Structure 1
């Protein structure tokens, strides 16, 4: 007998139906249960979720049919299906190199950082008092990079080596005084880096000169150059003469350097480089078929205000203690907008933390020992291959050899490789490359030699190789001397250090993080587990596609699902951050106009409410930004849009629009807005930041958008990782498909493609399993239900708080979308309370502040997501209500305007445990402002941080231990 279990109904039909959900996993992902959903609907005066959606989302854009996605799977079934897909991948030993190496992730780091939600569910450290652990870990990373590169400052990481090189080119272009528009790229750079540079240069009118640095005569003026160290084929060159000539011409020199090699080689800063970039992937981060990995960017201190991305710096708190924060935040793209030279507003934080901790784990001696072992093994391999009659074309090398095949055919070598489950790099029919790594064993070397030996006896691997590093480039300077790199080499000590840092950070393991436009929702354990499966993690991004059939299935299914969800025909998974997605989407549009002989179309219309990265991305694509006004309700001013579109009709390239709007409202006129732009020959780019309010209800492709980027780290559950990684794939209409990203190493893209926008062909491929799991476990009904509850939760918060804080923007029926903006501007007038005072006081309640002063100064934007339960929503509302009552006491004169709970927030344990207490409020009021706080108190690690002091006294590396005494 087989039990017939009926499929649960959707949660949105009627009051009685609210007790049912789409799948077992949906019930775990969506926070409110059926009874709580009904309670919230009652507060809103609505019968069911359909009523809410009918009154919130314009009927003209609503989907007529449910999403056509596979039925939802249980967590167990989804993991089983994905394991079957993973088994289609073949994990060969890859000695391909090209910036990617197998490595050993110390298990204490894997378990306690990579697999730990206390690290991966935290948000960008914009509220530094509750992010001291992450900030310290990032400062360790920056110190490691400064020490290894020999330069003065480093940022908190970038996306990958290719895009870091592009950022270096852009920075060089912006700061050099020369009028040259050409950038020299050594032909010895990795091919993916060269291609990304060419992609970035094209719309800016920068000429890329690819050539041999040894013969380049500087007859054509250049503003900058980039060199690979060691070169992509393994050769190690002395670049000092080239650097001197470039500087004489007024150009800046960037060196793309392997950081592990810098433990043995003279660092770039010591031979004159202005910028150093590269990847820290081999510092304990799995290859993951391309990512995510933390790139690095280091330069001279005089360029500190031009450095792309984020820089962690040291300041002090209200008690005078050292404290960390993001420094020089005036550089953030949300502020600089169209004046920005970069659209990067993120970092690869989780991966940078891992790489920095790899250095903490090993210390300078450990890193040097790893590098020396790899180099020695490479030397043994080189000598043994010579004994077999092969010519090694490298005079000097670190870990990579270029082998002349002489009389052996490439086909013979590749056949032998396949029998040994080994991948080598193919340069051409006569040359292959071999790159060794931390995991290489003597047995691996013997297997490689067997491939080349054919019928000859295999040489001994016990030979002593001659020195293969240039003697004049041997490193003599010390590095990683700070105590942090010399104190935690036992697992006990490192475990405690990691736990100490984790305890200083507020993450989703503590409480909700209600940031508007950032969608901090559940990152389910079942979604995360496959990330560390070796079938996904141990694959080189340039492994033959015959070995990656599982990944290809994963990509195809995810692309199809995202196409169905968005209403687009084509999807590219290559952009590895939201900023990259924005850039790629606009570049697709740029290429489309070029192909039609309308390359003069360069005006990009952008509403004044847009994300700051929008205008920055437009400028990077060579577009001219024209602002479009918003009306008093926060909607795009249709009359102003029409006037601007008419005025710039002949040169109109695109409109960038966020939907629902950045103000948290479903604009009724969105289809007309798209039609106006199309009427004047432009294309519509939709920023997908707010897709969490669209999935299952409406689709960008149906609304009228031509291209849209998706933040998988928002809507589709890839965790924020403390500020990264992210993924920003784009969807496009059929007419834009020919222009999607390509790649120089892997066969993808069409003839009209824009080129590569990321170093790896599918971006950060290994974390795509997270979004695959999410969609597979939710199904179409579950995804739709999640969207509806996200809208419900936001409206419930807006309703509960509207008597205390005005809701700035609402839709036609007095409702918001999935987020709401609360207006706190009056508090400054009535009580002298700043928006930051409220943000810091929320920390005493155990909450991260909502998005502060954006998109409107003096407001907070709240997005609860669908994953937060009703009790948690109520705790958050009660915290804000209590704070409003505390403000009222200031307004009435009962409490001092200078010395009060808000101005002194956050309250640390140390600030309360003092003998003297001279405040008008009690210690208990400060520490335990609500009953639930006593049960689960999160203590801010430091008091309020002095931001101005940190910028005046800029320090971006580990401070001496005396500073803490």
Structure 2
């Protein structure tokens, strides 16, 4: 009977699906390495001083359907009222063809940042479309490929304005008082860190003196008002100020463009272009500017270049601005992007085209005019007669409270701003909803007839602000309005990209692990993506429970005392963590502490974030084994002890090893008055084995898009929460519109209170399905896989760094310097040749030049690890042919890689066969990935900067 009962309870746990190698594969790899068990391997790999043998205090693992049912019960507590709150967030309709073929398609959401241009042509075309869309609608010629949200885009505009402003101007940034309240505070947070001042001004009364360097205006304003800012902008620019307009893409379909009004910069959110509300995120911010400022623009930019065959090819432009090159001199943090959401917004524009977008805008505006006319007929006064989609109704406190209560009784959320009640209509609004809104304000009186109101409605956009210029005239926005054509266009772009659906993406420090279908399912539930971020908190009880549970799970996993979920990227986590350290020092009367020690091996986002947080970067040397040079660290910590703010350290190190002296490193910083910030990029090597909050760091950001399975989405969305020790908890980010965060918080660093809230269920699902045992085993297998690959590859490409025990952590760095000397084969040659075998290259030339950093993760099977190793060994044999003189140094299969179908089917005079070029291994024939372009010329693209859709002939 007991045997029967055991069988009845014998279920396949999710961890067995998530972890790639089978138990027999694990044993085979352990035997290859000389270890009897995973526990023995990881006890050897990790320094004894940090090991934590206690089992994670987390709930037992649930099966996939059980976890989905539990999450459904939690999120069903959310109340889905109809929200007319506005303030930068609007309901929208995601076209089903986009929902089905992009957001629910792992071929799109498991892509990595397009650093390898040749295997990223599809998503880069979509991003070029996004840039063109933003550029056309804003009337400014250069746009980037997205920022995190509207608030952070405005903060970037302030920083750029300071860099561009004329000499002799002061350190004050003017912000119009009718800007979005969250935007004002996000900019204020950034300004404080940079030592700048924010002055909130009435745009009607501002006098421009020499104290200000820039001006931010909202168009349309937070209260819906539409104003002609031409004269104001001209006055500001006459005084040398840089002027930014925060704006709305749908409004710009009928309003004169910011560039036409004279603005230097335009920022905003593309959320209402088909991206769900999601309780605040993720949403793609946008940033556009004038031609003369293009090389100072923040974020990443997709540009057009040529490939080796003379064909157009997309690539990341202005590469020299990337953080691993410019570091503390970087103009911005390139990791702050929302690629997947920008792609959704671009596809919304492609699908609707200019006529469809204008129709949506005109319909939204027409309904607003009917509503405004009706409100006036009922005796209410509007704050402005000029508006697009938002009405501000002037009321006293008692009246406003009464109407808000009456609306809630009918499951309607209205907005509130100063002395007004806001009503913001959107794409989903209809005549019945307008009638319902009028009935609320009628308070029992007869509701006016809508047709009569429509006949009586006057113009609400001044004639001088009616858009007359054309936009989205490129054929790409006028060719895919049928679903069959749109579906095929999306599929065509998908085929030009390499994602986890094709093969392993072995990027060191980037942790491209499985993003399981069950984890992703909930993000499209209405109770997850249908809430406005500023609804009354009692309508978001499901989210509240989710946040509390996830914060607790993350605290248990990391050993920290408190968690903030607000940072909406890893880079934002870095920034938030450093701001918290600043605020702590200030609370101790030590606000002068601004020196940040950063190892020379650190990820480039570290120094970029430190500068954004107003710190002075001092570089600490690393020794020959890749570890922090303890003597240099101690010398510099003592030298700067009176001004030492923090050390930023990545652990395990960026060289892929567990530094033995991590506890001593933390002690040195603490003894000299500083705090220890740990970059959590490599946390995937620690969960269940050790806890950073217990062995020294004071604050750590956690990449949920790495360790906790949120997909990378081509370079965003990401979530970068921070964990802190108890003494830092009061300083966690807070928000002006929703009570959350620390009571002495640093202010908001993202526009929404909980950042990218709607993708947090992914990490919740991962933890609930893995359970404490599964999470620990995942970490152990990640370490096993890396060491197995390091051993297999060492004879072909030597591993550069190992710990004293001969092991690596969860990634390894292989040396390619020798083949450069012997065969003139570069890192890039090998990276491009990997594409012919169907692989994305590992991380190239970072943190050490002429190397590759390989991270297999726990999700990849032994068969896939072996395939990749066989690929690298095969490439080494191809290099050996060059070394032996069997292949010319300047004309071989590596120098011409990758090989496109067009090249292989054209004329052929190369000293190697077509088969060797296209099908170097038998398995390649079974699942061939064909690169759409040959090797892209980066230098040409920088010399000839083009960042909008090229001529249609290039698409043929």
Asked whether the two chains share a fold, i.e. TM above 0.5, the reply is yes
Task: Describe the SS at the equivalent of 2:619.
Answer: strand
Q: Give the match for residue 30 of structure 2.
A: 41
* Alpha-carbon shift at residue 174 of structure 1 (Å): 1.3
* Alpha-carbon shift at residue 6 of structure 1 (Å): 8.4
Task: Give 1:76's match in structure 2, choosing from 65, 87, 91.
Answer: 65
Q: Give the match for residue 923 of structure 2.
A: 932
Q: Give the match for residue 13 of structure 1.
A: none
1: CA distance, partners of 2:12 / 2:754 = 30
1:376 aligns with 2:377: no
2: CA distance, partners of 1:302 / 1:875 = 48
> Superposed, which structure 2 residues align to 1:259-274 within 5 Å?
259-274=249-264
CA RMSD of aligned residues (A): 1.3
Kindly indicate whether the alpha-carbon contact (under 8 Å) linking 1:306 and 1:331 is maintained by their aligned counterparts in 2: no
Task: Describe the SS at the equivalent of 1:223.
Answer: strand
How far does the alpha carbon of each residue in 1:67-86 deviate from its partner, in whole angstroms, 9 at most, with x for none? 00000000000000000011
2: CA distance, partners of 1:405 / 1:585 = 41
Q: Give the match for residue 572 of structure 1.
A: 564
Kindly indicate whether the alpha-carbon contact (under 8 Å) linking 1:23 and 1:72 is maintained by their aligned counterparts in 2: no
2: CA distance, partners of 1:361 / 1:343 = 31
Deviates further, 143-152 or 45-54: 45-54
How far does the alpha carbon of each residue in 1:670-694 deviate from its partner, in whole angstroms, 9 at most, with x for none? 0000000000010000000000001
1: CA distance, partners of 2:172 / 2:800 = 48
Q: Give the match for residue 78 of structure 2.
A: 89
Task: Give 2:473's match in structure 1, choosing from 462, 471, 481.
Answer: 481
Task: Give 1:242's match in structure 2, choosing from 232, 237, 246.
Answer: 232
1:617 aligns with 2:612: no
How far does the alpha carbon of each residue in 1:726-778 deviate from its partner, in whole angstroms, 9 at most, with x for none? 00000000000110001000012344210000000000000000000000000
Q: Give the match for residue 589 of structure 2.
A: 597
* Alpha-carbon shift at residue 387 of structure 1 (Å): 1.1
2: CA distance, partners of 1:7 / 1:750 = 48
Task: Give 1:713's match in structure 2, choosing from 702, 705, 708.
Answer: 705
* Alpha-carbon shift at residue 407 of structure 1 (Å): 9.4
Q: Give the match for residue 43 of structure 2.
A: 54
* Alpha-carbon shift at residue 521 of structure 1 (Å): 0.5
1:390 aligns with 2:380: yes
How far does the alpha carbon of each residue in 1:452-481 deviate from its partner, in whole angstroms, 9 at most, with x for none? 111211111112211100111111110000
Task: Describe the SS at the equivalent of 2:234.
Answer: helix
2: CA distance, partners of 1:333 / 1:250 = 30
Task: Describe the SS at the equivalent of 2:754.
Answer: coil
2: CA distance, partners of 1:60 / 1:700 = 12
1:316 aligns with 2:306: yes
1: CA distance, partners of 2:536 / 2:402 = 16
Q: Give the match for residue 762 of structure 1.
A: 754
Q: Give the match for residue 897 of structure 1.
A: 889
* Alpha-carbon shift at residue 409 of structure 1 (Å): 2.2
2: CA distance, partners of 1:61 / 1:69 = 20
> Superposed, which structure 2 residues align to 1:528-567 within 5 Å?
528-567=520-559
Task: Give 1:638's match in structure 2, choosing from 630, 633, 648.
Answer: 630
1: CA distance, partners of 2:327 / 2:336 = 15
Task: Describe the SS at the equivalent of 2:6.
Answer: coil
1:25 aligns with 2:44: no
How far does the alpha carbon of each residue in 1:99-128 deviate from its partner, in whole angstroms, 9 at most, with x for none? 100000000000000100010001011111
Q: Give the match for residue 791 of structure 1.
A: 783
Q: How many residues align?
A: 951
How far does the alpha carbon of each residue in 1:369-398 deviate from its partner, in whole angstroms, 9 at most, with x for none? 000000000000011111111111112000
Task: Describe the SS at the equivalent of 2:212.
Answer: coil
2: CA distance, partners of 1:509 / 1:739 = 41
* Alpha-carbon shift at residue 964 of structure 1 (Å): 4.6
* Alpha-carbon shift at residue 406 of structure 1 (Å): 5.8
2: CA distance, partners of 1:623 / 1:331 = 20
How far does the alpha carbon of each residue in 1:637-662 deviate from its partner, in whole angstroms, 9 at most, with x for none? 11111111111111100000000000
Task: Describe the SS at the equivalent of 2:947.
Answer: coil
Q: Give the match for residue 130 of structure 1.
A: 119
* Alpha-carbon shift at residue 59 of structure 1 (Å): 1.4
Kindly indicate whether the alpha-carbon contact (under 8 Å) linking 1:102 and 1:286 is maintained by their aligned counterparts in 2: yes
2: CA distance, partners of 1:61 / 1:408 = 59
Kindly indicate whether the alpha-carbon contact (under 8 Å) linking 1:23 and 1:73 is maintained by their aligned counterparts in 2: no
2: CA distance, partners of 1:659 / 1:75 = 31
Task: Describe the SS at the equivalent of 1:409.
Answer: helix
Kindly indicate whether the alpha-carbon contact (under 8 Å) linking 2:67 and 2:769 is maintained by their aligned counterparts in 1: yes
Q: With structure 1 as the length reference, what TM-score do the two structures score?
A: 0.97
* Alpha-carbon shift at residue 23 of structure 1 (Å): 6.1
Task: Describe the SS at the equivalent of 1:650.
Answer: coil
* Alpha-carbon shift at residue 917 of structure 1 (Å): 1.3
Q: Give the match for residue 842 of structure 2.
A: 850
Kindly indicate whether the alpha-carbon contact (under 8 Å) linking 2:123 and 2:497 is maintained by their aligned counterparts in 1: yes
Kindly indicate whether the alpha-carbon contact (under 8 Å) linking 1:23 and 1:778 is maintained by their aligned counterparts in 2: no
Q: With structure 2 as the length reference, what TM-score do the two structures score?
A: 0.98
How far does the alpha carbon of each residue in 1:120-149 deviate from its partner, in whole angstroms, 9 at most, with x for none? 001011111111000000000000001000
Q: Give the match for residue 826 of structure 1.
A: 818
Kindly indicate whether the alpha-carbon contact (under 8 Å) linking 1:321 and 1:964 is maintained by their aligned counterparts in 2: no
1: CA distance, partners of 2:886 / 2:132 = 48
2: CA distance, partners of 1:173 / 1:321 = 39
**Structure 2: 5+ residue runs without aligned partners?**
none
Task: Give 1:840's match in structure 2, choosing from 832, 835, 839.
Answer: 832
* Alpha-carbon shift at residue 44 of structure 1 (Å): 0.6
Task: Give 1:209's match in structure 2, choosing from 199, 202, 216.
Answer: 199
1: CA distance, partners of 2:448 / 2:5 = 67
**Structure 1: 5+ residue runs without aligned partners?**
9-19
Q: Give the match for residue 6 of structure 2.
A: 5
Kindly indicate whether the alpha-carbon contact (under 8 Å) linking 1:263 and 1:368 is maintained by their aligned counterparts in 2: yes
Deviates further, 331-340 or 355-364: 331-340
Q: Give the match for residue 802 of structure 1.
A: 794
Kindly indicate whether the alpha-carbon contact (under 8 Å) linking 1:74 and 1:777 is maintained by their aligned counterparts in 2: yes
* Alpha-carbon shift at residue 219 of structure 1 (Å): 2.8
How far does the alpha carbon of each residue in 1:504-549 deviate from its partner, in whole angstroms, 9 at most, with x for none? 1000000000000000010000000000000011100001101000
